[in-house]
A and B are shown apart, each in its own frame.
Chain A
Amino acid sequence: MALFKTRAIVLKSINLSETDKLTTFYTESFGKVKCVAKAARRIKSRFGAALEPLSFINLIYFGKENQELYRLNHCDIIASFQSVRENLEKLYTAVYFLELMDVTVREGDRQTQLFQFFLSALHCVERQGRLETLIRVFELRLLALLGYSPSLGQCVVCRKEPMNGWIGFSCFKGGIVCPICIDQNPQEIRFQKGTLNYLKKLLSSDLKILERLKFPRTVEEELEYITHRMILSHVGRELKSYPFIKLMAEIDAPILEDAKNGQTGN
């Protein structure tokens, strides 16, 4: 029986029996880990709010190495991302990130770099106003860190660099397809070559400067379509939390508009 100590982000918590919880963490040192938290649902539970999804915590758990379920021993909160929880669009963006991490990362897959990226992305959700670009970058970079980086330099079929005009993207082959090869595969996604440069920029940009990046509306729509199709192709299904981001943004919009008008009126 070993004791494990690491920093972690809570991905999800589900109720187990009368008072217990089964919590999934993405840890800094041991990758994705599942723990049973005894009596966590009791009002006087020692785990308190630390097992709420999105919490960044110090975690101590025990069990035999490489077992499926561990026993939670102790956790205390480093950051709870409270401002994210109070804004529905931010909250559901963060929940989408949590779900993406949960479905794409396998248990025992240890990557400190991925943990750092995930944590930085959550801090960006907290700080940034425009979340669209951040969502695109998170989708692309997560796949890249998991070893599914798209090939954007040359056509994945003929290995030639595409010329100007329309080009395609093959989720199955994981990269761009030139106009000649795309005619043989009409089902692939088509987009303008200019969008390719934005796609490259997203893959290499620092998360902290994302708010400074400006994209034309058509490019944003194409980027959303491409990255979302990549996720669908990788996961094999639509993520449940994805539609909620837009739904909540629509609810927030008139309220933000009213607030803006109120300020102008004053």
Chain B
Amino acid sequence: MKRPAALQELIAELQKLPGIGQKTAERLSFYLLRGTKERAQRLARAVEGLKEKIVLCSQCHGIADKDPCDICSDPNRNAAQICVVEEPHDVYVFESLGEYKGLYHVLMGVISPLDGVGPQDLTVDHLKSKVEENPAREIILATNPDMEGESTAVYIARVLKPLGAKVTRIARGLPVGGDIEYADPVTLKKSLEGRGPA
């Protein structure tokens, strides 16, 4: 028997989300159907708010309620440090630490030849103009330690170093709680290269 059109539409839309298949979409839809009308409306408003209330910060390209974002407009943040990350959600990973007090710059992706994403598709030019305004800043490259992230970091360092900026890269090596015996040679080598005083 054919399902009601509204239910079928919700299942189809949920199925488009990452990690959700037919069965999960059906289970979530029936859960919402069984719940109160207010609950469904709250969810609908939250989804709608995502697109209507969230803006991209014109200074760091992170997501925020207002432009400029709370981090960029905070006078207590250290403007001499800019942490460069791949995606807006990476900002929250660093912020959850509570350790870093500098500013951020979101690249909105990484250079990926296999996906046809080049430097012109990222916010590298804006980062370059920030460095040109104030070359005394430290630029911390915090892209992922994979091939795309590493090559993007190498590219940005090439572009920024001639401008006189201090460009640093986050440390790579063994994870806390890891076992040296099972570490791959590349990670182990990086951990030796990036060793610090005990």
Contact = CB atoms under 8 A, between A and B. Distances in A.
A95 B114 contact: yes
B147 A52 contact: yes
Given A88-B158, A251-B155, A240 B114 contact: yes
Nearest to B113: A241
Interface of chain A, main secondary structure: helix
A156 interface: no
Contacts of B113: 92, 95-96, 99, 240-241, 244
Contact of A44 (B18, B158, B159, B178): B178
A54 B147 contact: yes
Contacts of A85: 147, 150-151
Contacts of B158: 88, 251-252, 255
B186 A46 contact: no
B187 A49 contact: yes
Interface in A213-249: 240-241, 243-244, 247-248
B197 interface: no
Given A18-B19, A52-B146, A77 B185 contact: yes
Nearest to A252: B158
A18 B119 CA distance: 27
Contact of B184 (A48, A54, A98, A241): A48
Interface residues of A, number: 36
Interface in A42-61: 43-44, 46-50, 52-54
Given A54-B147, A96-B113, A247-B118, A77 B154 contact: no
A195 interface: no
Interface of B: 18-19, 111, 113-116, 118-119, 146-147, 150-151, 154-155, 158-159, 162, 175, 177-178, 182-187, 189
Interface of A: 12, 17-18, 43-44, 46-50, 52-54, 76-77, 80, 82, 85-86, 88, 91-92, 95-96, 98-99, 240-241, 243-244, 247-248, 251-252, 255, 258
19 contacts: A17-B19, A44-B177, A46-B182, A49-B184, A49-B186, A52-B147, A77-B184, A80-B185, A82-B186, A85-B151, A91-B151, A95-B113, A95-B114, A244-B118, A251-B158, A251-B159, A252-B158, A255-B162, A258-B162
